[in-house]
Amino acid sequence: MRQPTLFEMEEKELLGLKEASDWASLYLNRHITTSNIAYLIQYGRIKKHGNDGKPLINIAELQKYYDSFTKEAQWKEILGADLNWHLSFVDYKESERTKHVHRLHPYKGKFIPQLVEYFLDPHTDEFKREVYFHKGDIVLDPFCGSGTTLVQANELSMHAIGIDISSFNAMISNVKIAKHNFSLLAETIRNLTLKLRAFQKGKRNVLFEADLLSELSKFNSNYFPSPDYKRKVRNGEIKEKEYAAEKEREFLSIYYNLVKKYQIKITQDKIDSFLDKWFLSPVREEIDFLFGEIKKINDKNIKKTLAIILSRTVRSCRATTHADLGTLKQPVTTSYYCKKHGKICKPIFSVMGWWKRYGVDTLNRLQQFNRLRTETVQICLTGDGKTIDIYEELKKKNPQFAETVLTQKIKGIFSSPPYVGLIDYHEQHAYAYEIFGFERKDKLEIGPLRKGQGKEARESYIQGIAEVLLNCKKYLQENYDIFLVANDKYNLYPKIAALADMEIVNRFKRPVLNRVEKDRFAYAEIIFHLKKKN
């Protein structure tokens, strides 16, 4: 059957979900699913016509919504004509940008895997005229983070070494690229879930939370119906601030009555540590229980994988609002109006839901990657990139691979160094360091947020990145290629290259789309291509 043209579909005022997704796909020249359209309805971006059984979408409203986004020409006007729009990867769906193990654990500051693929993949296309790496090459990432380069190197049949000052970051990376016993892992997760359920039997928080959710559902259905409420707020029919504050106070009485009924202890006895401050008492008890059970497991690989699942669970159970997950402000111990969801929400009182969800998700993602993996070697070393002896550290972990590195040498680097004054890398996973007892090495971070972006901080950053490059250069082939992803608004990288006795031979400016921050202004980053100075 012939698919209707864009013009033919626009002749109809209202379209069904499938027709609307077909129209949007043609209009935007990329695949838009019915789920994408349903999301816009659910969150009040567009109005739902028709009924729940067969929602209809006004094509003019949908076009207006899509036209409100910044287009390529507008971004180039703001950021410059040298913007490489091809490197925006705008055509990739969210599921592709976070494929398999790339979403195994949250991590601020990571780049999307397609960016690594573009520079590492030896297959040329009309946009890339040079080939920098080939199958069997060894790639180095001295700022390994959560292991994106290592994972993509494996997919492309290349060996890879990561270095990270953070023990926790190294664990995330190594769990991603490890070979796993999936049947044993699945069985262990099931057993831990059963033990947690047994632990909960003597507690009241599960019944309390179930009752609280029931009351929230009824209350929100009455006073914050979706998507009508959000649409009325946007149209000025409801003054959100005043209305939300009134309803928030109204529900608090229901909340406190339930707390009294079930005799729930909300806060912990002390607030000395991150775990003390940011988790409600029932949640902390479950966290400690699960970690105690994980410590009893003998298999190191299984234990580390479970630690990642627990860490991801813990992060989702912090006592904060949904809008402040990325930037914690104040612990939340009561129900509250959630601006993100447009209704009354609550903090977490049990880890069970997230533990089960992430257990299943982790297994699925590891198995998805396992079907793609190649027989190559990837490993992340814990250490300071400025001083680490890569050969000696590799000998401790994989002597055979260490010999390969010694004879073949590393072809080049693909890495995203920390941006000056942007992130405190240890602090973003403070809960994990406390649970697992990892040593924090904050003082060795380069360009941390706490040091700001002043002159002294920038000079320290230049020196730090240059020292890493100088140390790593000893292990590279003569004709190396280095690619560093950076937002160089202070023009620091020419100085860094000079100090490392390298030269910048090319710059690729890419627009950064699909950002998670609230601030969605036009933003670009540079991929610097460095080589040995002639």
φ and ψ at residue 413, rounded to 5 degrees: -125, 135
Instruction: Indicate the pLDDT class of residue 75, thresholds 50, 70 and 90.
Output: confident
Same domain for 467 and 513, yes or no, is yes
The confidence score (pLDDT) of residue 76 equals 79
φ and ψ at residue 215, rounded to 5 degrees: -65, -40
Q: Is the pLDDT of residue 528 over 70?
A: yes
Give every CB contact of residue 312 below 8 A, 6+ residues apart in sequence. 104, 105, 106, 354, 358, 362
Q: Which of 67, 87, 107 is the last residue of a domain?
A: 67
Total count of domains within the chain? 3
Segment among 34-48, 181-195, 351-365, 511-525 with least mean pLDDT: 511-525
Same domain for 196 and 327, yes or no, is yes
Domain contains 381: yes
Q: Give CA 56 to chain center in angstroms.
A: 33
Cβ–Cβ < 8 Å for 56, 19: no
Across 456-472, average pLDDT: 97
Where is 321: in which H helix or E strand? none
Could you tell me which residues are beta bridge partners of residue 314?
none
Q: Which of 24, 44, 67 is the last residue of a domain?
A: 67
Range 122-130, long-range pairs (CB < 8 A, 24+ positions): 122/156, 127/84, 127/86
Same domain for 254 and 313, yes or no, is yes
What's the CA gap between 476 and 484, in Å, rounded?
15
What's the CA gap between 499 and 473, in Å, rounded?
12
Domain contains 348: yes
Domain contains 172: no
CA angle 268, 269, 271 (to 5 degrees): 75
DSSP state of 101: G
Which of 48, 58, 46 lies closest to 20 in space, CA to CA?
58
pLDDT digits over 203-249, tens only? 888 899 999 999 999 999 999 998 899 889 989 999 999 999 999 99
What's the CA gap between 440 and 385, in Å, rounded?
16
Same domain for 216 and 118, yes or no, is no
Same domain for 386 and 503, yes or no, is yes
Domain contains 1: no
pLDDT digits over 347-404, tens only? 999 999 999 999 999 999 999 999 999 999 999 999 999 999 999 999 999 999 999 9
What's the CA gap between 444 and 131, in Å, rounded?
35
Q: Is the pLDDT of residue 522 over 80?
A: no
- Position with higher pLDDT, 15 vs 325: 15
What is the span of the domain harbouring residue 361?
182-365
Distances (CA, A) of 362 to 99, 105, 106, 368: 12, 9, 12, 10
pLDDT digits over 7-53, tens only? 454 456 788 889 988 888 888 888 888 888 888 887 777 888 876 66
Q: Following DSSP, what letter does each residue of 16-32 receive, concatenated?
A: EHHHHHHHHHHHHTS--
Across 94-105, average pLDDT: 92
Domain contains 393: yes
Domain contains 435: no
Mean confidence (pLDDT) of the chain: 90
Same domain for 381 and 352, yes or no, is no
Same domain for 62 and 76, yes or no, is no
Cβ–Cβ < 8 Å for 188, 355: no
Q: Give CA 101 to chain center in angstroms.
A: 11
Could you tell me which residues are beta bridge partners of residue 504?
530
Q: Is the pLDDT of residue 520 over 60?
A: no
Same domain for 385 and 499, yes or no, is yes
Note the helical H segments in 201-341: 205-223, 228-234, 240-262, 274-277, 281-295, 300-316
The residue ranges of DSSP E strands in 89-150, in sequence order, are 138-141
Which of 315, 416, 306 lies closest to 366 in space, CA to CA?
306
The confidence score (pLDDT) of residue 71 equals 61
Using the CB atoms, write b or e for 29-67: b if 16+ within 10 Å: eeebeeebbbebbeebbbbbeeeeeebbbbbeebeeeee
Domain contains 264: yes
Same domain for 381 and 512, yes or no, is yes
Q: Which of 26, 49, 67 is the last residue of a domain?
A: 67
Instruction: Indicate the pLDDT class of residue 518, thresholds 50, 70 and 90.
Output: very low
Same domain for 15 and 118, yes or no, is no
Domain contains 177: no
Same domain for 80 and 63, yes or no, is no
The confidence score (pLDDT) of residue 125 equals 54
Same domain for 199 and 335, yes or no, is yes
CATH number at residue 420: 3.40.50.150
pLDDT digits over 239-290, tens only? 999 999 999 999 999 999 999 999 999 999 999 999 999 999 999 999 999 9
